[in-house]
Chain A
Amino acid sequence: MSDQETNILVVGGGISGLTTAVEAAEAGYSVAIVEKEPFLGGRVGRMNKYFPKLCPPTCGLEINYRRIKFSDRITFYTHAEVGNIAGSPGNYDVTVNLKPRYVNDKCTGCNACTEACPVEVPNDYNAGLDKRKAAYVPHQQVFPHKYVIDKAACKDDCGVKCKEACKYDAIDVDMQPESISIKAGSIVIATGWKPYDASKMDNLGFGTSKNIITNVMMERIASGTGPTGGKIVRPSDGKEAKRVAFVQCAGSRDENHLAYCSAVCCLASLKQATYVREQYPDSKVSIFYIDIRTPGTSYEKFLNKVQEDENVSLIKGKVAKVYEDSATGDVIVEAEDVLANKKIKVPFDLCVLATGMQPTVSEMKLPSDIKINENGFIVPDKDQKGIYAVGCVKDPVDVAKSVQGATGAALKAIQTVGRKS
């Protein structure tokens, strides 16, 4: 007996998964979303702005959340992971493991538990740049707007202050993990990506200085919902970061790390350069690159716009070394400026490593006929029916291409399920 039957099961609630889900549902199909985190939105939810429009991701997410709220065809499970997948196209049996949230549906989002919670832990949502409580929501625009308790962070001796504070009987510290089984006609895998571990590149100094950060951290720092409320400062001492370096292909296009191009990092750095320039009129930004990759119409236009700013320098050259000057906290970047044919050594307040994307498929058990290549990406197979991969789990792609692929995956999924009317 299955607990739920659905036409399509979507694994992952980031931009790709959400898109497949709402597009298929609005075509008349039932969809269940399974998301690992306690909230939907995935990586895009953590972005400050989208390139090249510099518009907030929350705007489009809000529309997608409304589409979910108003649809009676979409169910979603957060804090949940897919276990076993059995069966065949049209008829899959999927085990979904629900992690305990320790907060039930009675939660009104009143924040009393957070206020009462005595524990502070590094905030993983903000890449550990600030602290959060053990009873929390990462910020106020998350969906679903329902609190969660990080039990691993809880102190046994706190006296369950959160439960005491909750007037609505919403906290259930004895909540147990649960497994449910879902029958699905088709499965779409949209488990997305994670940033490449920057500490693997010894020469770039990540971990040796707080002022050497990744591009993902930079998004949080620049975000109004981030650790500094959007103020771009260097983490070591809170000083305004007015001299900022971006090191492109930090791991990408490098056979010792990621053999492929991560496709978004050039645009991400150009975008982040605008964050700095907008905040501090007297700031200077240097972007060290191999090739500037801004394919297409609006991306090239965006490049041109950033290039017009004389305080943004694009320097073609491989960065040899990044390290902190312990006396000043400055970060020194040593690089080769190949067009000028010289070696340079420049101090910055902050150095942003444009680290690439790694697919996160390895974290789930997939049926044996799903092929994964040496880079970790799912290999789409034209003959493979019933299970489809979309977004960054298949190829490193930007939001626009994720949306295109995710909409197309909805068509493949409904082909498997069959026409309904």
Chain B
Amino acid sequence: MEKKIGVYICKGCSIADAVEIEKLEEVATKEKKAPVCKSHDALCSPEGLDLIKNDISGEGVNTIVIAACSPRVKYREFSFPGNIVERANIREFVAWTQEPKTEDTQALGEDYIRLGISKAQSAELPEPFMLEELDKSVLVVGGGIAGITSALGVADAGYNVHLVEKQEELGGWAKKIHKQLPQTYPFESLETPTVGSAIEKVNSHDNIKVYTSSEIEKIAGVPGMYDVSIKTNGSSEQVKAGAVIMAAGWRPYDANKLGHLGYGKNPNIITNVQMEEIASNGKITRPSDGKEAKRVAFIQCAGSRDKDHLPYCSSLCCLTSLKQAAYVRESNPDAMAYILYKDMRTPGQYELFYKKMQDDPGVMLTKGEVVEVRDGSAGTVEIVMKDTLLGESIVLEADMVVLATGMVPNTKIEADVLAEWKGKFDEALTASGGKPDPNAVLEPYKVPNILNLDYKQGPELPGIDEAYGFADSNYICFQYETQRTGIYTAGSVRQPMHMAGSIEDAMGAGLKAIQCIEATAAGNAVHPRAWDQTYPEVNLTKCTSCKRCTEECPFSAIEEDEKGTPFHKMSRCRRCGTCLGSCPERVINFKDFSIHMISSMFKALDIPDEGLRIIGLVCENDSYPALDAAALNRARINPAFRFIPVRCLGNLNLAWIADALSRGVDGMILLGCKFGENYQCHFVKGSELAEERLGKLQETLGRLMLEPERVELKQLSIQDYDKLPQILNDFADKLDEFEPNPFKEF
């Protein structure tokens, strides 16, 4: 498209009080040669907008630079579909943060006009990436309550489902229980398990195909077009799917590791899983002699909340023991249940069930620490407790002890499996003559297990180490985020949860799967850039196959061909632009965001011989709004800074720093999200990678005879706007101590 640029400058909201508008217009028309440039007292008013609309229809303007307020406001007003629109934020970044009508303020305003026009000159309209073929069915891995619920949820919305279950039948743990917790108000009575009717619905649903005794052999391809091989009793079947829900569930913590609680030493010490079996068979009897167990003690947190076992709380053991106490009481009105706990955890309205059980005189609840579990007389078990509410140690005799063991997610790889995998790896290493294969780095998620993804970065979901093996989201507000686009997790493989929670969670995962398929079909990215229709385009002729992009992509969206040349698997891509930042050859670019674009913006700046000039590259989701908030509070921002938003600091390409500094820019500050533990970057490692890349900068700057401190990264949260002026001033003060950038003279 041949561009005709129109620059529209708003004089309202104090802009005209802060800068000489005519001079801004001169920059646009004389220096930057914009064919159309107009100003208006209130550009967002109907009259102001008509000015622009008339130029679009009458003058053929198709590339519009709005020099007015922040792009975060008046977004509907300044939307002109089919045209390139850039916003130069001269209200927040100039009028509201600078002293009016000074030389510095004028220079700043003019620079934002230059930046806006250069950006518009380099931008192109997006053309969505369309998959040639698309399959809208959903693969659900795991046929427990979560998988069944996801399958039904998706199928009832009109999509086909492949439901794969490892066991011979569907139902998982939900089918192995005697009764289920009350699911609804008043939360008092145990219920007959409802999973059976759900299984019937699945089996008779036209949109669902069930594969039992089956496992995933391989998932290749991309969201919208996965090629899945399902292995059933030794034979493979190939199916296509558009998205995947992983609901692989959990296993009980291995009670053999609970010797300190007597497991394995006395047959009458059992787990809560065994208790379900016993209850299903009728009377509550003890294993040693089949006699009725009239005194049953439940030891809570058996393995859970224990740094030597599971450091976390398994969430449902308190409720399970209360439920099993009801089994004991229902089985024999004279029987007693003792629940020995650290904290009773029955959040929400399950408190009502707790209360009901607490009110039962046959249920005794005691807080305390179990110090010993030993044989009593005649097959009984004695439990020694200390720090009880009675203030003393007690010894409790029971006919049977139930250990409330916790949950281990099936994504958690046990040490022995890891060891076996390492053995295989070592063998392969020896066979290959000791040449390490960088693709086979030994990390737990690289051990094939459930999904067996045919992905460059490994077969399973990353990030599970940080969550004790659970395949959980890192984000509180975005519970279904994984680092593999199109793959969503549900139920207790994600977080320990009870059945009602799993059901709700599974519906959410179902929605995300459908959403990913529909977004892909429309050529859109998915969260967190769901609106984005651009995608990375690679000039392969200049690619050196250095593999940095394939390694740094947070979403394993880039594969390599047999020659090692990278290629994007586009619908896995979240459009974060980490690859753009990683590429030393600068060959990865987006239609509306490119290496050249940012470099040309640097080049457009007016660099005077005297006076600091600093570029701020800012994360557009958090730091940019923080700058806006500072402006809304009319904070004073150092006039040396020119802020340029980026999708993520992961976009930082070292070429930019060389470009900027060799232009005479005195320094560059990078404002991005917190990294490390509890990272806040929505593209996982953006700011961390930027910091890493800065580490390699020393040499480049040395070559330019410049101090490496001229470039600095600050971790900033969206709420830190009150700290911004100081952070910026401190950085400017530091630069003031250096000699002016010698490149200014060139």
| C-alpha spacing A414/B478, complex, angstroms | 20
**What distance in Å separates the Cβ of A53 from its nearest Cβ neighbour in chain B?**
5
What is the size, in residues, of chain B's interface with A at 8 Å between Cβ atoms? 92
The 8 A CB mask of A391-402 against B (1 = contact, 0 = none) is: 000011101110
Interface range for A: 35 or more
Residues of B with C-beta under 8 A to A396: 347-349
Closest to A223 in B: B719
A208 at interface (Cβ–Cβ under 8 A)? no
Query: Which of B329-337, B468-476, B560-568 contacts its partner?
Result: B468-476
What residues on B are CB-neighbors of A83 within 8 Å? Answer: none
Query: How far is the CB of A413 from the nearest CB of chain B, in Å?
Result: 9
A121 interface residue per 8 A CB criterion: no
Contact with B along A288-326 (1 / 0, CB 8 A): 000111111111110010000000000010000000000
Q: 1/0 per position for A51-67, CB-CB distance to B under 8 A?
A: 00111111111111011
Residues of B711-744 at the interface with A, using a CB-CB cut-off of 8 Å, are 717-719, 721-722
In the assembled complex, which residues on chain A have CB atoms less than 8 Å from the CB atom of B528? 63, 67
Q: Does A404 contact B479, Cβ atoms closer than 8 Å?
A: yes
Binding stretch for chain A, among B24-32, B100-108, B518-526, B542-550: B518-526
A373: Cβ under 8 A from any B Cβ = yes
By a CB distance below 8 angstroms, the chain B residues around A77 are: none
Cα–Cα, bound, A118→B468 (Å): 57
- The reply on A403 being an interface residue by CB < 8 A is yes
Task: Take A15-B477, A261-B351 as given contacts and tell me if A414 and B157 are in contact as well, using a CB distance cutoff of 8 Å.
Answer: yes
Q: How far is the CB of B609 from chain A (nearest CB, A)?
A: 37
Segment 139-173 of B: residues with Cβ below 8 Å from A = 153-154, 156-159
Q: In the complex, which residues of chain B have a beta carbon less than 8 angstroms from the beta carbon of A373?
A: 185-186
Interfacial residues of chain A within 65-90, with CB under 8 A of chain B in the complex: 66-67, 69-71
Asked whether, in the complex, the Cβ of A293 is within 8 Å of the Cβ of B45, the reply is no
Q: Is the CB of A301 within 8 A of B311?
A: yes
Asked if B722 and A59 make an inter-chain contact with CB atoms under 8 angstroms apart, the answer reads no
- Tell whether A109 is near chain B: CB-to-CB under 8 Å: yes
CB distance from A376 to the nearest CB of B (A): 11
- Let me know if A300 and B312 touch, CB within 8 A: yes
Does A253 sit at the interface, judged by CB under 8 A?
A: yes
CB of A80, distance to nearest CB on chain B (Å): 18
Do residues B530 and A67 form an inter-chain contact, with CB atoms below 8 A?
yes
**B311 pairs with A403, CB closer than 8 A:** no
Residues in A neighbouring B509, C-beta threshold 8 A: 407
Chain A residues whose CB sits within 8 angstroms of the CB of B346 once the complex forms: 261, 293
Q: Mark A246-288, 1 if CB is under 8 A from B, else 0.
A: 0000000101000111110000000000000000000000000
User: How near does chain B come to A277, taking the closest CB pair, in angstroms?
Assistant: 17
B680 near A55 (CB under 8 angstroms)? yes
A199 within 8 A of B: no
**Residue among A71, A338, A403 making CB contact with B477, cutoff 8 Å:** A403
Q: Number of A-B pairs whose CB atoms are under 8 Å?
A: 254
Report the bound CA distance from A296 to B154 in whole Å: 27
CB distance from B576 to the nearest CB of A (A): 13
Q: Is A397 a contact partner of B313 (Cβ separation < 8 A)?
A: no
Q: Indicate if B205 sits at the interface (CB-CB under 8 A).
A: no
CB pair B678 A54 closer than 8 Å: yes
Within the complex, which residue of B157, B478, B718 is in contact with A58, where a contact is CB–CB below 8 Å? B718
Cβ contact within 8 Å between A300 and B311 = yes
Q: Does B701 make an interface contact (CB < 8 A)?
A: no
- Whether A108 sits at the interface, judged by CB under 8 Å, is yes
Give Cα distance in the complex from A228 to B158, angstroms: 53
A177 at the interface (CB under 8 A from B): no
Q: Which residues of A contact B387 (CB under 8 A)?
A: 339
Residues on A with beta carbons closer than 8 Å to the beta carbon of B477: 15, 19, 50, 57, 59-61, 63-64, 399, 403
Instruction: Please indicate the chain B residues that have their CB under 8 angstroms from the CB of A19 in the complex.
Output: 477
**Does B510 contact A408, Cβ atoms closer than 8 Å?**
yes
- B604-656 interface with A by 8 A CB criterion: 621-622, 625, 628-629, 632-633
Q: Is A202 interfacial (CB-CB < 8 Å)?
A: no
Chain B residue contacts of A375, Cβ below 8 A: 185, 349
A61-B477, A167-B42, A263-B347 are known; give 17 further A-B pairs, CB within 8 A.
Answer: A24-B511, A26-B527, A27-B515, A109-B13, A140-B629, A141-B719, A168-B45, A259-B355, A261-B348, A263-B348, A294-B313, A297-B467, A407-B512, A408-B504, A408-B506, A415-B157, A419-B159
- List 19 interface pairs A-B (beta carbons < 8 Å), by A numbering: A28-B522, A55-B680, A58-B719, A59-B719, A111-B632, A145-B632, A230-B722, A253-B351, A262-B348, A291-B343, A296-B496, A298-B467, A300-B305, A300-B313, A304-B311, A374-B186, A377-B185, A395-B349, A404-B504
8 closest cross-chain pairs (CB), A and B: A60-B477, A408-B507, A419-B158, A407-B508, A70-B531, A140-B632, A411-B511, A291-B343
